[in-house]
Amino acid sequence: MDPEKGTPFLTEMDSYYHMRMTRDILQYGHPGDSVKDGSFWDSLSYAPDGRTANGYRPLMAYIAVYTYKLFSKFSSVTLDQIIYWQGMFISSLIIIPVFIFAYRLKGLPAAIIAAVLSSVNYGYFVHTVPGFYDTDMVNMWTSGLMFCLACIFIDSIEHIKKKGDSDKSAYKRIIIFGLVFAMSYALLILSWSSYYLFAVVLIISLILYILIRFIIAHKDSKKSALKDQRYLILTVLIVSIILFIDNPSLLKDAFSRLMSLKTSSVNDLFPNAYVSISELRKPALIAGGLTGLFQMKVLSGPNIGIINAVGGTVPFIGSIVMLILIIRRIIAREIRFEYVLLTVWFLITSVMAFRSWRFIMLFSIPVAILSGCLIGQICELMDKGRMMDRWVYKVMLFILMTFPALYGAYKSFADSVPIVNSALSQTMISIRESTPKDTILISWWDYGYFFEEKSERRTLFDGGSQSGIRCYFVSKSLVTPNETLSANISRMLSSSGDKAAELCVKTFGNDKGTLLLMDELLLDDRSNADRILSNKDIDAQTKDKILSLLFPDTMSPTEFIITPDMLSISGWFVDFSMYSGEETFDKSQFSAVLSQVPVSDLSGDANTLKTDYGFDLVILRSADRYAAYTINGGSEQPYHIDKVMVSDSNGYAEYLMSEAASDLNGWCVIIERHDDQTYLSLVTTPLADSVFGKMLFLRGAGLRQYEYDPALSNEVSVYNVKRPQ
């Protein structure tokens, strides 16, 4: 629970960005906290300069603001309470277009089942629970509404063809539904930055529909085949013109969106941060073994299965069966625009779902409609027969189709827990109350949006600034054992952001040699970098510009924040930093068997600590010197100990073992004492030697250019980046 706001913490990180933009809209009338060069500007993200907020899609923010203004007239409700609860109410609007779509095709049973499946499937439900304040609550029902209205609009045009041009009521319907369709598309544009994906689905469906009808008419030897499609062709042209006027690069953006989901950790010269995001990884077809076949077993992260997330095996198979029936009808010349649209919608979103589990949600809606229509088809066959108990069978079909999804929604609701905690919140409050307003925060990007919202301070690395440059250099600053390199990187990023790297790449080339050169320049002070650059074939002006960006004369107060859970993702730091200049990376270089485990005071000469990992750790102490080894079933060294690192009231010391490992598989025992408590860790030697390791396990012991700030720290460690001497 957030003690300041009286509501639970939000359940995912992007929600805090949207919360901040919503608060800006309420306070300033636009997203972003300022205006710069005529653009709405977000000064807290992408430090030090900030970034434009013009591209923000504010539909859900507008809904929250106006809901708050309305309810605040009658109660003491806060904007934060509206934000926390809004998703579960607004997202339920998905049932309206889905119900209408399925009802038009296969009647009431189909509409009911489709509406239920569309709202409670895991892929959609988990993104719309209380506390999940993101665009998913609006982009699904706005896109569904657009598709539904497009079908009604096309039907009105077809009605003119059947009844003749004299049917004035059809023209009225065209005008009305055309205007409502345009409004729904406007809402979609305001709801999601990738709205163009739905526009592409619609355009492809319209073109295919016209082509199919033209081919059929041509085969029937109708000379007026083209003339018969004149209204549809005109409609496609008008809709396409409107869509392309709004976004001339519509098709290019859609293709780029699909192609951007790369699985390689290196994207061009700099690393691709997206591969570390679990939502963007490729999902399995099904997860959970046999139980996953019969119920929607709720799992997490990369274990999510497509079938599980769309509502279970029965809806998934049912949608495929109905899709086959629809295609057969199209082949048999039973043409409806809904059939073509559903087919294209299903196929394109299925491709997206197999690329990334984040997009399973998009796939779940056509699955819901198709599986509902299959039940509607079966019910129609039942009604044509003389089955006395057909309603009993219909109820059984309803339960069979919807129970796995309903059960999964029930189970997953309890699993929606906040991503932040009180310790992190209190750290941000302390930073807000105790640091200058121009302070810049550096950490891994995961908590960046929360840092900005809670501390009201600029953040270097967040969900909107996952550039390869920052990914590489923040990783390098954490992984390197060279504190000078790490601190110089922090100062460079805090003062000039990406500009130094961009200029170096422009000057020396877009290759790995440029990164190695930058590492060499940042390993020492400005005068040493000057000597290195003097030997390069560049002019004096360019050299001075590079030096001023690498080694700024002034810098804003900068705090480096280390959270305990960064240990679990530290393997990505190794990967992204191109550790030791190697082409291949071994994430196991950063591993921990024991991490900050509280133990009794190690006062004896020989202390044996039993672990839950099948080995004992023996720590020897003699005249304030330490040694350690591990025992497993009587044999020594299942984990080869290179050294012992100790930090206590006497200072910091390292004790090397007589036979240190020559490879990267050596281990280090870390003993850290504070607040009358002793903490013990057993980690790989590269992790222990890194700046990150000293920050996480030793409270900065052994570091000189990062200063641990106990007043701002708790479970979360805060380090001030010292200015260069």
pLDDT higher than 90, residue 413: no
Greater model confidence, 300 or 681 = 681
Q: Residue 629's pLDDT is what?
A: 86
Band the pLDDT of 228: cuts 50, 70, 90: low
Provide the pLDDT confidence category of residue 324 given band limits of 50, 70 and 90. Answer: very high
159 or 311, greater pLDDT: 311
Parallel, antiparallel or unpaired: strands 667-674 and 717-721: unpaired
Q: Measuring CA to CA, which residue among 621, 136, 620, 36 is closest to residue 629?
A: 620
Q: Would you place residue 566 in the very low, low, confident or very high pLDDT band (cuts 50, 70, 90)?
A: very high
Helix (H) or strand (E) holding 42: strand 39-42
Q: Helix-strand-coil percent breakdown of the chain, rounded to 5?
A: 55, 15, 30
Give the whole-angstrom CA distance, residue 401 versus residue 408.
13
Q: Is the pLDDT of residue 96 over 90?
A: yes
Per-residue pLDDT, 580:
46
Which three-class secondary structure state does DSSP give residue 561? strand
Phi, psi of 647, rounded to the nearest 5 degrees: -130, 120
Helix axes 422-434, 448-455, angle to 10 degrees: 50
Q: What is the predicted pLDDT for the residue at 306?
A: 86
Instruction: For residue 64, name the pLDDT band (cuts at 50, 70, 90).
Output: very high
Q: What's the pLDDT band for 170 if we cut at 50, 70, 90?
A: low
Phi-psi region of 446 (alpha: psi -120 to 50; beta: other; left: phi over 0): alpha
| pLDDT of residue 97 exceeding 50 | yes
Q: Is the pLDDT of residue 347 over 60?
A: yes
Please report the pLDDT score of residue 256 as a whole number: 62
- Residue of 153 and 268 predicted with greater confidence: 153
At 624-661, the pLDDT tens digits run 788 888 887 655 667 888 899 998 888 889 998 866 55
Quick one: average pLDDT of 40-48? Answer: 93
d(CA 574, CA 585): 7
Percent above pLDDT 70 for the chain: 85
Whether residue 579 is predicted with pLDDT greater than 70 in this model: the reply is: no
Nearest Cα to 671, choosing from 626, 718, 704?
626
C-alpha separations of 81 from 7, 30, 71, 85, 126 in Å? 6, 21, 11, 6, 19
Of 634, 689, 696, residue with least CA distance to 656: 689
Say which residue, 720 or 289, is predicted with more confidence: 720
How many whole angstroms separate alpha carbon 136 and alpha carbon 334?
35
| Predicted confidence (pLDDT) per residue in 370-412, tens digit | 999 999 988 888 777 655 567 777 788 888 888 888 887 777 7
Q: Which residues pair with 441 in a beta bridge?
A: 459, 559
Confidence label for 437 from pLDDT (cuts 50, 70 and 90): very high
- CA separation for the pair 684, 697 (Å, rounded): 12
| pLDDT tops 90 at residue 293 | no
Higher pLDDT, 286 or 509: 509
For the cut 90, the answer to whether the pLDDT of residue 192 exceeds it is no
435 phi and psi angles, rounded to 5 deg: -120, 155
The mean pLDDT value of the chain amounts to 84
CA distance 377 to 383: 10
284 compared with 268, residue with greater pLDDT: 284
Q: Percent of the chain beyond pLDDT 90?
A: 43
Supply the pLDDT for residue 362: 92
> Pairing relation of β-strands 592-599 and 677-684?
antiparallel
Backbone dihedral angles phi then psi of residue 552, each to the nearest 5 degrees: -65, 145
Can you tell me the distance from the alpha carbon of 272 to that of 260, in angstroms, rounded to the nearest whole number?
10
Q: Which residue would you say has higher pLDDT here, 466 or 336?
A: 336
Q: Does residue 538 have a pLDDT over 80?
A: yes
pLDDT at 702 over 50: yes
Q: Specify the 3-state DSSP secondary structure of 650.
A: coil
**Cα separation values, 605 from 236, 615, 621, 628, 643, Å:** 84, 20, 5, 11, 17
More confidently predicted of 437 and 232:
437
Range of lowest pLDDT (17-31, 104-118, 220-234, 609-623): 220-234
pLDDT digits (tens, 9 = 90+) for 236-260: 777 677 666 666 666 666 666 665 5
